């Protein structure tokens, strides 16, 4: 997801009654903590605003995503919005932290593209000091398991600007398949860029997990 669906200027704090009744599930009440060997994903907190502002507003991180909030207060509003959207069952955002450190160094977002999360879109941004360290890969694996097993996503989409080499490389290495070229679909710094539409289908993810499981069993 190149674009954070959050827009500060549209954040009116007005609570809207849902059109369809919301079926409450555990994740709508609060996100689980997802733990890997190196990375822990957890719910965002207001206190994450400072580190996310410092790490996600740099030129290299924000170059190919829609502009993140431009102040710490803007990130505080964004975090409050993520919690409201999660309660409404439309969107979730995990903070990325390193094991034994509580500082948020990035985010993974999941947004429903149809009611009920059958089709969803995901996006991610991590502070550049942590690029190429395995943080993305492990975080992505945790988020994919959450998407397919807990949210019951069956089709997970992502968009990456063609010029975003790391974004494309990251998606390919977690098994996303290039499905289409979205020509001139992303407005970035006053020009329209081409994006690639990447998709992971639940069946493909399940099959690749089984292959990994069998390889691990064979190696050990």
Ligand X SMILES: CC(C)(COP(=O)(O)OP(=O)(O)OC[C@H]1O[C@@H](n2cnc3c(N)ncnc32)[C@H](O)[C@@H]1OP(=O)(O)O)[C@@H](O)C(=O)NCCC(=O)NCCS
* Interaction site with ligand X (CB under 6 A): 2, 61, 64-65, 123-126, 131-132, 136-137, 158, 160, 164-170, 173
122: three-class secondary structure by DSSP: strand
**Structure-derived torsion over alpha carbons of residues 22, 27, 30, 34, reported in degrees to the nearest 10:** -170
Helix residue ranges, H only, 34-175: 49-56, 59-62, 72-87, 135-145, 165-173
CB of 209 to ligand X, least distance (A): 19
Measured from the CB atom, is 166 or 209 closer to ligand X?
Answer: 166
Measured from the CB atom, is 84 or 184 closer to ligand X?
Answer: 184
CB of 184 to ligand X, least distance (A): 17
CB of 29 to ligand X, least distance (A): 28
Measured from the CB atom, is 112 or 157 closer to ligand X?
Answer: 157
Instruction: Please name which of 166, 80, 83 lies closest in space to residue 124, comparing C-alpha atoms.
Output: 166
Enter the tokens of residue 168. Answer: 């494309």
CB of 19 to ligand X, least distance (A): 31
In which element (H, E) is residue 159 found?
A: strand 155-161
Measured from the CB atom, is 34 or 89 closer to ligand X?
Answer: 34
Residue 131: count other Cβ atoms within 10 Å of its Cβ. Answer: 14
Measured from the CB atom, is 65 or 153 closer to ligand X?
Answer: 65
Measured distance CA(110)–CA(153) in Å, rounded: 10
* 29 contact partners, CB below 8 Å, separation of at least 6: 87
CB of 158 to ligand X, least distance (A): 6
């Amino acid at each position: 997801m190149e674009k954070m669906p959050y827009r500060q200027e549209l954040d009116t704090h007005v609570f809207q009654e849902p059109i369809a009744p919301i079926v409450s599930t555990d994740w709508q009440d609060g996100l689980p903590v997802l733990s890997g060997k190196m990375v822990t994903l957890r719910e965002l907190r207001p206190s994450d605003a400072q580190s996310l502002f410092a790490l996600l507003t740099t030129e290299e991180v924000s170059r190919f995503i829609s502009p993140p909030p431009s102040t710490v207060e803007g990130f505080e509003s964004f975090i409050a919005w993520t919690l409201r959207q999660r309660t409404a069952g439309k969107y979730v955002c995990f903070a990325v932290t390193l094991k034994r450190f509580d500082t948020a160094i990035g985010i993974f977002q999941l947004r429903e593209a149809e009611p009920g999360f059958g089709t969803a879109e995901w996006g991610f941004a991590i502070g550049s000091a942590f690029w190429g360290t395995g943080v993305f890969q492990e975080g992505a694996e945790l988020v994919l398991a959450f998407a397919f097993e807990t949210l019951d996503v069956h089709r997970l989409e992502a968009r990456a600007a063609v010029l975003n080499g790391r974004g494309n490389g990251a998606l390919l290495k977690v098994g996303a398949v290039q499905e289409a070229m979205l020509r001139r679909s992303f407005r970035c710094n006053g020009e329209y860029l081409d994006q690639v539409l990447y998709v992971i289908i639940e069946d493909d993810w399940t099959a690749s997990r089984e292959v990994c499981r069998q390889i691990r069993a064979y190696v050990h």
